[in-house]
Amino acid sequence: AQRVTQPEKLLSVFKGAPVELKCNYSYSGSPELFWYVQYSRQRLQLLLRHISRESIKGFTADLNKGETSFHLKKPFAQEEDSAMYYCALRPYSSASKIIFGSGTRLSIRP
Amino acid sequence: DVKVTQSSRYLVKRTGEKVFLECVQDMDHENMFWYRQDPGLGLRLIYFSYDVKMKEKGDIPEGYSVSREKKERFSLILESASTNQTSMYLCASRFQGKGEAFFGQGTRLTVV
């Protein structure tokens, strides 16, 4: 079965500290992976996708096929990073379906 | 700029009522989705549609149905609302075969 697991419901770090939001997936093929973010009172939006290999707002994520992980990292947290973060997977076997994890709330303390 | 618009931001309905949640997108996307968002459970896929009049069940379709008569509009129907359907409902759309999904602002439904 296809599944996305985010083991932390809440992650609280101090401003300036490194951040790592964990994401593990189960899928037998090669998926497309994403991180979405939802800031307070805003709609869910794409943060980054693994095929782009880009850094957005200082965040990066590397796909590790051996560990089936796609952790989101930022070296120095900022207060405006406080939000809900969702990891998501699109199986290449399906043209349409996107599966989300349960989400991690990131709280940055001043 | 892609726009996905959900017809209501907040809805309060009574148990047993038939409820319609509407979603419209203006970017000619083939795929449209309905998710419900609950704390601790994340986004769970209810139904998705890969083209007009085409639909597939997601992970939690029980108690819901959908309609896609026009490409831009995807409706979620609660045939007989129940209190356990109180939730935030999110609509999304995207191009077929292209990864990113664009989301609406959400409809917070309360069933009393």
Mutating which of A44, A93, A102, A105 best tests the B interface, going by the most B Cβ atoms within 10 A?
Answer: A44
Of the candidates A2, A5, A1, the one whose C-alpha atom is nearest the C-alpha of residue A71 is A5
Task: Please give the C-alpha separations between residue A30 and each of A2, A90, A101, B53, in angstroms, as whole numbers.
Answer: 11, 9, 17, 29
Of the candidates A93, A80, A84, the one whose C-alpha atom is nearest the C-alpha of residue A28 is A93
Could you give the residue ranges of the DSSP H alpha helices within chain A? none
Residues from A in contact with B at Cβ < 8 Å: 6, 9, 32, 34, 43-46, 49, 51, 86, 90, 95-103
Q: Do B40 and B55 touch, CB atoms closer than 8 A?
A: no
Residue pLDDT, tens place only, A83-109: 999 999 988 766 668 899 999 999 999
Q: Do B4 and B92 touch, CB atoms closer than 8 A?
A: yes
Residue pLDDT, tens place only, A47-81: 998 877 788 899 999 888 888 999 999 999 999 99
Which tokens hold the place of A50? 């693994």
Q: Do A5 and A24 touch, CB atoms closer than 8 A?
A: yes
Residue pLDDT, tens place only, B75-108: 999 999 999 999 999 999 998 877 689 999 999 9
Check CB contact of B34 with chain A, cutoff 8 Å.
no
Q: Does the distance separating the beta carbons of B42 and A6 come in below 8 Å? A: yes
